[in-house]
Amino acid sequence: MLNTGDKAPQFTLMDKDGNMVSLSDFEGKKVVLYFYPKDNTSGCTKQACGFRDNFSEFEKYNAVVIGISKDSVKSHHNFAEKHSLPFILLSDPDLTAIQAYGVWQEKKLYGKTSMGVVRTTFIINEEGIIENIMNKVKAEKNAEDVIGLLQE
């Protein structure tokens, strides 16, 4: 499990347009890295739209917003188009970053246990160090909660 103060695990994944994006591309900027279960589901849509609606606030803090799920590039492209998402969505079907960040965990839903992405947000500083880890994220409040932490 990762902790605040740890070096953020590096990754290179494909974005919604098929471009390769690496965490190291954003050295010198803060990175708001959020992991979410699935495109176009109720909670994930609320979370993404919260980041969209507050996007100019993140720019004020020189922060890049990156969302990662195991959905396909095509799914991300459609999700971003449908909801006018201005930030980066990365596809991680092989669970490379998802497992490196420890967010692939056992989940219980309606009495059934399965493995899945646990909604988690990381704030990474300009030097690539994890400044904050938000577990058990409330989808509809995630963007505002992150802005509050960036203001500190």
Tell me, yes or no, whether 138 lies in a domain: yes
Tell me, yes or no, whether 6 lies in a domain: no
Tell me, yes or no, whether 7 lies in a domain: no
Tell me, yes or no, whether 2 lies in a domain: no
CATH number of the domain at 28, please. 3.40.30.10
Q: Could you give the 3-state DSSP secondary structure of residue 76? A: helix
Tell me, yes or no, whether 16 lies in a domain: yes
71-86 burial: b if 16+ Cβ within 10 Å, else e? bebebbbebbeeeebe
Per-residue pLDDT band for 110 (boundaries 50, 70, 90) equals confident
> Which residues are catalytic, by number?
44
For the entire predicted model, the pTM comes to 0.96
Tell me, yes or no, whether 4 lies in a domain: no
Tell me, yes or no, whether 89 lies in a domain: yes
Number of neighbours of residue 17 by Cβ within 10 angstroms: 12
- Domains in the chain, number: 1
Q: What is the pLDDT of residues 63-95, one digit of tens each?
A: 999 999 999 999 999 999 999 999 999 999 999
Position 109 scores a pLDDT of: 79
Expressed as residue numbers, the domain containing 62 is 12-151
Tell me, yes or no, whether 84 lies in a domain: yes
Q: Which of 14, 43, 6, 20 is nearest to 127 (CA)?
A: 6
**Beta-strand runs (E) in 8-134:** 12-15, 20-22, 30-35, 63-69, 88-91, 104-109, 112-117, 120-124, 130-134
Q: Which two tokens stand for residue 9?
A: 């695990």
Position 108 scores a pLDDT of: 84
